[in-house]
Structures are given as structure tokens and as C-alpha cells.
Amino acid sequence: MIAFLIHVGDDDFSRVLPTEANGSQTGTGRIKVMAFPPLGIQTLAPVLRQRGHQVRMFDTCHPQMKAEHIALAVRQDKPDVIALSFLSTTTYPAAKRMAQQLKAEAGTIPIIVGGAFATLNADRILGDCPDIDCVGVGEGEELLPDYLAHLDDPGSVTGLVWRRDGKAVVNAPRPLLRDLDQFPYPDRTSLPIDYIESLPLDVPAVLSLDKFCTVQTSRGCPYSCIYCDIPALGQGRWRSRSPAHVLGELQELNDQGYRSIYLTDDHFLINRTRIDAICRGIIERKLEFHWGCEGRVDSLGIEQLPVMREAGCDFLAFGVEAGTQKVLNRLHKKQTPEQVEHAVREAKRQGIARVHGFFVVGSPDETEADLMESFRFAARLDLDTFGFNRLCAYRGTPLWQEYVARGIIDDERDWHKWFKCSDIDPTTLPSAEVNRLRAKGYGLLFLRRIFQRPVRTWNLLRTFGRHMKTTDIIKLLASPFRRRTLTRKAELPARMIDLGLEEPVRQKCPA
């Protein structure tokens, strides 16, 4: 059979590399795009091929892989199945538009969707979008081939949510995969795109022009932070590939010339022995790439930092979230500021080149003093880079459930939206206030950096400056103080719309 695998991305998170930034070639058919590779379809493509299917992949970050181009390919190739893959709530409108445009061309060819958001909202998607025929819930490695083998009998495919006589039918759930080592390595060569290691910003913030890709060595996380849907996606379990399987893939990538790798694991640092085995393997094999990962500050993996550094780890991102125990507790983060300090200090002491801190602002019960303390805390920490995003609520998280219970979110009508907490929750600081304090906090942080660590700041700017124009660096530095316009804005909860509001009002609406 012929299957089309299409990654629908957010335009905000990709940008074709400008020619002056050295690279986008015309004529060769390959382009350079500042984006993360679409690991979902890269993972599924070889699995389908192994079962004898033909696969054609598309990533909408490519200017020639927009809906109209894919529709043309549908007309030419007449695939048996069109599979759309997208990650988040923010991309659902684009995925729907893609399904609509392709359905007009595809007629009876079934369109199946999958990915994190689809998994958490399967039956609702079918009720909402007539152009989508079914949803694959959870991991696709077994589900998608099973679906292709039973196109005429969707009722037999576990994990599938499909439509019969206009109604959504929810098949029995498919258990989580037990053995992640059984599948072929992702296909990173079929798409005519070179992904460039960059920051997902509105200026071309290129980090390196090294051949770049992502790898997933484990799935899931056993913690339960209130704003995160990873536990819901993976049933609160952490599963991993064996070090030998991971090393096989890393060797292949090394031999293909990849020199920059980012691990998209939800929590890479969880298992000390496994980290040790992977890192020692990288060292023994003399693999040449540098790599980065994310993890919790209380991980046992912190003890493995020396071997990680030796194995080429030069970027480590920690979920710091807040500078006060009160807010950390409210987020159910189960970590202390002292653990944050220890982890960051150790990472720098062991020579990790860039240590990043993810922070959130605008959390429930966070006061002005708490928020400013997060910035002061960040200034004290030995972080190289940091990001302060406003806390948002997504369906599938404990926070979403809390807002449903508190009568702020109507789960029936709001399921496809996401909300900034400071827009909707009266126990948060108002959005305007959060923005004002964030700009003030960034100002404080930048000044402390420039005066207390001038050499480090200069070196960091030089890293950016290698591939960026000075005007773009200035834009990058000014970005925390500017208002960014994303293509998809947070929407209003249904109950506020009922009240005729056009802007969110942070008060409990009548149920």
C-alpha cells in the first residue's frame, strides 16, 4: 500500500534559513530550515516500509510541502492512506485545515491523525472534524501498520477511534509498547530538508550549522507536575530503549555526519546506570557529535555529569519553573530551590557548556514578590540561558481538570483550546501585570549578567554571532521586552463567550 505521512507543524516554530545566513540552496532540491525534525513521522516511516508499504513523507515547514502541494501529490500518487501527525493543541486548527484541503482531493481515501493532542482528544476530534476519518491513540509503531492491514475492518484495530454511521466508536485501548528496541531506526534521509539547530524564535537564532537531528531514547515521566500532560500520555510510566539499541542509532547518525543531536526524552536523566552505559559507549566508539538533553534537577543522573560531559554533552536544560518553594509546591514540582542550585552548579562545575533554565511565570497563587524572586533566583544561578514562559493550561493536565472543577473551563466546549492561566484564573496575577513584571525581571537579569559575568555574556553572544546578523542579535536580546504575535492566540473560555466578553475576565463565571 501507499501511505502519506504528513507532519503538520506550527509556522511559529520553523523558518527557512535566510540565504545570507549561509545555506539555503536553490536548485539542489534540499533546503535548510531552522526547526526540529518531525520525529513522529520519521519514526513511523521505516516501520511501515518494513511491512512492505510504500511511504512518502511531508513536513509542512518546507515551502513546497503545503496543503496545495500535498493535494497535488495525492492526485498523482493516489495513496491508500493519509496519516497526519501533529504535536500540540496549538497546531490543531492547521491540522484540521490540512485534512479539509486533502479530503477535497482525496475523496474516499481515509485520513487518520495521531500525536500527543490527538491522543488526548480522540473522540472529540472525530465529532468536530468530518474530514478526519479516525484517530490513532498513543504510539503508532504497531497501531498504524495494524490499521493499514485492516482498512476494511477498523473495529479490530485496538487504539483506534473511528466513525461508524456518523458516530465515534472508541476501540479498546492499545497497551503501551513493552519493547522499544524492536523497531528500525527513524528515517532521517527521505525528507529533502536539513534541519538547523536553532532557537524557536522570530529571529533567525541559529546555534550551529552542524548537521542536526533529534533522538528519543526513552518515553514518559513518573512525576505529576500540574501543567504537564506527559504523565497522561504515558500512563505515568517511564520506558526506555536499551543502551545498545540507542548506541546503534547514535553510531549510524555519527557515520551519516550528524554532529549535533538533541534528545527529546521527557526525562533523560532518570536512570544513572543507563546514562553511564550510553555515555561510555559514545566515548569508546569515539563518536564525534555534541549533544543536549533535558531533565529534572533532582535526578540521580546529576551524578553522571562528568561522563556525560566526556561523551560530548554540551547542553543541559532543567525545568526550574520558580524560585520559591511555595510556587514549586503549587505546581506539584516536587523539587526544592536548593536542588536547583545544586544541579546547575554541578552542571557548570563539570563543564557543561550551556545550561538552560525553563521558568514559568503567571502561576496560580504566585504574587509579585514570588515572581520577582524567580528572576532574582535566576540571576543567582549559574545558568547560561533562561526562558520565562507564561504558564498555560492544556487538556490532559491536572491543572486543566482543576479549572474544570472550579467552573472556569467547560470541558465539553473548550477541549480544543489552551489558556494562559493569568488570563483566566483569579488566583494568578493579571496578564498585563505578569508581562510588566517579566520585562522588569528580564531587565534585572540582563544587567546582572552583563556586570557580574561580562566574559561569559560576551562569549555567549559570540556563539550567537557566529551565524547571526548583529541586527538579529539585538532583536533577540530585545525580544523579552517586545510583545510577540503568534499565529494562534489563546482563546476565551466558552463561558466568557456566553457572557459576551471579548477579552478574558479573571473571575469565576456562572456554570
The Cα-based distances of 124 to 40, 415, 495 in angstroms read 22, 8, 19
Q: How far is the CB of 367 from ligand SF4 (least distance, A)?
A: 23
Are the CB atoms for 210 and 198 separated by under 8 Å? no
Stretch that binds ligand B12, among 114-122, 443-451, 465-473, 493-501 (CB under 6 A): 114-122
Q: Contacts with ligand SF4 in 279-298 (CB under 6 A)?
A: 296
Q: Which residues contact 477 (CB under 8 A, 6 or more apart)?
A: 446
114 binds, among ligand B12, ligand SF4, none (CB under 5 to 8 A by kind): ligand B12
Binding-site size, ligand B12 (CB under 6 A):
40
Cα first-last separation, the chain: 50
Q: Name the burial class of residue 257, with classes exposed (0-12), middle (13-18) and buried (19+) by CB atoms within 10 angstroms of its CB.
A: exposed
**Per-position x/- string for 70-109, each x denoting binding to ligand B12 as judged by CB under 6 A, each - no binding:** -------------x-x-xxxxx------------------
- Identify the H or E element spanning 168: strand 167-170
Q: Which is nearer to ligand B12, 13 or 373 (CB)?
A: 13
Does 96 help bind ligand SF4 (rule: CB under 6 A)? no
Q: What is the dihedral of CA 14, 18, 22, 27, to 10 degrees?
A: 90
Tell me how crowded residue 421 is: count the other CB atoms within 10 A of its CB: 26
**Which residue from 48, 143, 270, 381 is in contact with ligand B12, where contact means CB under 6 A?**
143
Does 343 help bind ligand SF4 (rule: CB under 6 A)? no
136 binds, among ligand B12, ligand SF4, none (CB under 5 to 8 A by kind): ligand B12
Q: Which residues contact 307 (CB under 8 A, 6 or more apart)?
A: 275, 276, 279, 280, 283
Does 229 help bind ligand B12 (rule: CB under 6 A)? yes
Does 10 help bind ligand B12 (rule: CB under 6 A)? yes
Tell me how crowded residue 214 is: count the other CB atoms within 10 A of its CB: 18
- Phi/psi class of residue 34: alpha, beta or left (left: φ > 0; alpha: ψ in -120 to 50)? beta
**Per-position x/- string for 361-400, each x denoting binding to ligand B12 as judged by CB under 6 A, each - no binding:** ---------------------------------x-x----
Does 230 help bind ligand B12 (rule: CB under 6 A)? yes
In 3-state terms the chain splits into helix, strand, coil percentages (rounded to 5) of 45, 20, 40
The Cα-based distances of 126 to 135, 155, 224, 377, 453 in angstroms read 8, 15, 28, 46, 54
472 binds, among ligand B12, ligand SF4, none (CB under 5 to 8 A by kind): none
Q: What is the dihedral of CA 100, 102, 105, 111, to 10 degrees?
A: -100
Q: Which is nearer to ligand B12, 57 or 230 (CB)?
A: 230
Does 357 help bind ligand SF4 (rule: CB under 6 A)? no
Q: DSSP readout, 439-450?
A: HHHHHHHHHHHH
91 binds, among ligand B12, ligand SF4, none (CB under 5 to 8 A by kind): ligand B12
**Which residue from 63, 127, 200, 443 is in contact with ligand B12, where contact means CB under 6 A?**
200
**Which residue from 267, 356, 420, 495 is in contact with ligand SF4, where contact means CB under 6 A?**
267
Whole-angstrom Cα distance, residue 308 to residue 360?
27
Q: How far is the CB of 403 from ligand SF4 (least distance, A)?
A: 18
Q: How far is the CB of 319 from ligand SF4 (least distance, A)?
A: 5
Whole-angstrom Cα distance, residue 293 to residue 268?
7
Q: Contacts with ligand SF4 in 170-209 (CB under 6 A)?
A: none
Are the CB atoms for 390 and 360 separated by under 8 Å? yes
Stretch that binds ligand SF4, among 186-194, 218-226, 251-259, 413-421 (CB under 6 A): 218-226
Grouping H, G, I as helix, E, B as strand and the rest as coil, residue 271 is coil
The DSSP 8-state label assigned to residue 81 in this structure reads E
Does 266 help bind ligand SF4 (rule: CB under 6 A)? yes
Does 221 help bind ligand SF4 (rule: CB under 6 A)? yes
Q: How far is the CB of 453 from ligand B12 (least distance, A)?
A: 27
Q: Which of 321, 379, 377, 383 is nearest to 353 (CA)?
A: 383
Does 295 help bind ligand B12 (rule: CB under 6 A)? no
H helix and E strand count, the chain = 20, 21
Indicate the residue type of 382: D
Does 431 help bind ligand B12 (rule: CB under 6 A)? no
Are the CB atoms for 424 and 403 separated by under 8 Å? yes
Q: Which is nearer to ligand SF4, 264 or 463 (CB)?
A: 264
**Which residue from 231, 312, 337, 357 is in contact with ligand SF4, where contact means CB under 6 A?**
231
Grouping H, G, I as helix, E, B as strand and the rest as coil, residue 425 is coil
Does 110 help bind ligand SF4 (rule: CB under 6 A)? no
Q: Which is nearer to ligand SF4, 125 or 225 (CB)?
A: 225
Are the CB atoms for 477 and 450 separated by under 8 Å? no
Does 321 help bind ligand B12 (rule: CB under 6 A)? no
Does 140 help bind ligand B12 (rule: CB under 6 A)? yes
**Which residue from 319, 357, 398, 493 is in contact with ligand SF4, where contact means CB under 6 A?**
319
Q: Name the burial class of residue 280, with classes exposed (0-12), middle (13-18) and buried (19+) by CB atoms within 10 angstroms of its CB.
A: middle
Binding residues for ligand SF4, rule: CB under 6 A, are: 221, 223-225, 228, 230-231, 266-267, 296, 319
Binding residues for ligand B12, rule: CB under 6 A, are: 9-10, 13, 35-36, 38-40, 43-44, 83, 85, 87-91, 112-117, 120, 136, 139-141, 143-144, 200, 214, 216, 228-230, 264, 266, 394, 396
